[in-house]
Amino acid sequence: MFTRDVKSILGELTASRTERKIFMVLDDHTLQYCWPVIRGFREVPEDHLYVFQPGESRKNLNNVAEIWERFGALGIDRRSLVINLGGGIVSDLGGFAASTLKRGIPFVHVPTTLLAMVDAAIGGKTGINFRGLKNEVGVIRLPERVVIDPVFLKTLPANELLSGYAEILKAALIANAGLWKRIAPNSLPAPEDPEWEPLIRESVRIKHLIVKTDPDETGLRKALNFGHTVGHALESELIKSGQPIPHGFAIAFGMVIEARLSVMTSGLPARQAEDIEMVVRRIFGPMPELFNHPERLIPWMRFDKKNQGDRIHFAFLPRIGAVEVHHSLKEAEILKGFQQKIS
């Protein structure tokens, strides 16, 4: 749900049930910048706050076990509620810990990054990294509620806003040509801009719709993967080489390549692919140099857990505002997508 008063909403959500113990998962950042915004919605004992250091590497089994340990010892039960206050790392970690403790404690996500508001917190994916692989372990389980308040956008560095914006562009590209037309010419709204509300609402609506049709990712949900096959590979290779870029940047650049592949495979008009590339370059800057060495990305694509067997799967656009799943390409075909001049 969308709100302009997250504190009252959380108060209402928990007030009528006095027996319901509240537990929170948050990181050092959200403890400092976001917790003050909601503090006092209800009395929450300090040891009911599980706070961990920010960073993707903390989304690990050790921290999950710590949450099980702490919340279990404090007497959490199935009528309790876990509130995950933070970005995607918090909702993934806290959601996984809650989903598996006592076979499932209800939880609520309060996303504090744009990316979490439009993507990570929506659709029930939870998980941790394991064996060096992202989200290698996890479950799909819907939160009891997702409470989205744009007040938290003010707490974000610019890079974080951009990162979430890539998912909004994706939502428009796969499902709403009108939205694309409206946002394509513009630059990023400022954090306080009321324009965020319709953008977030529409992105969430699109994701909900797709997830509802296919909660377990056997078909249509793969549509959400547009830009992600190449994007994840780019992200992983850059992490490995010690030059990480924000997730959303990787997805945005991934969408450019996958739009080119859509021209070859799904009949996306070439001008629309160029339009996508232009918008991405304007907002996210020049394409990564690594795209000149696509052979370094292929192994990562093969690892994607959405793949089955040996083929590499994609979601492609037949036109802006529509999407097709169940495409798979051979490596040679994929490499062609990179062959246009990168500048």
Catalytic status, residue 327: no
User: CB of residue 61 vs its own copies: minimum separation in angstroms?
Assistant: 7
Question: Alpha-carbon distance 309 to 317, whole Å?
Answer: 23
- Residues 197, 149: Cα–Cα separation, whole Å: 9
Can you tell me the distance from the alpha carbon of 28 to that of 20, in angstroms, rounded to the nearest whole number?
A: 25
CB of 331 to its own copies, least distance (A): 17
We find the least distance from the C-beta atom of residue 161 to its own copies, in angstroms, to be: 28
Catalytic, out of 59, 228, 313, 327: 228
Active site residue 208: no
Q: Are strands 22-27 and 49-52 parallel, antiparallel or unpaired?
A: parallel
Is 228 marked active-site? Answer: yes
Is 293 marked active-site?
A: no
Active site residue 131: no
Distance CA(168)–CA(200), nearest Å, equals 7
Residue 159 is a catalytic residue: no
Active site residue 225: yes
The Cα 54–Cα 126 span in angstroms is: 17
Which of 82, 259 has the CB closer to its own copies?
82
Contact 335, 291 (CB under 8 A): no
Query: Shortest approach of its own copies to residue 18 CB, angstroms?
Result: 10
Q: Which residues bind its own copies (CB under 8 A)?
A: 19, 61, 65, 68-69, 72-73, 77-79, 99-104, 125, 127, 130-131, 133, 135-141, 216-217, 305-310
Least Å from the CB of residue 313 to its own copies? 11
Q: 311 near 298, Cβ under 8 Å?
A: no
Q: Look at the block and give the residue holding tokens 């400022």.
A: 190
Catalytic residue among 29, 109, 221, 313: 221
Nearer to its own copies, 34 or 67 (CB): 67
Where would I find the H helices in 102-152? 114-115
Closest by Cα among 143, 55, 57 to 107: 143
Catalytic residue among 21, 59, 109, 232: 232
Pick the closer one to its own copies by CB: 58 or 306: 306
Distance CA(260)–CA(51), nearest Å, equals: 43
Q: Select which of 134, 160, 225, 277 is catalytic.
A: 225
Q: Chain-centre distance of CA 285, in angstroms?
A: 21
125 or 228: CB nearest its own copies: 125
The active-site residue, picked from 29, 59, 134, 207, is: 207
- Is 129 among the catalytic positions? no
Here the tokens at position 318 are: 């037949």
Q: Which residues are catalytic?
A: 103, 125, 167, 207, 217, 221, 225, 228, 232, 247
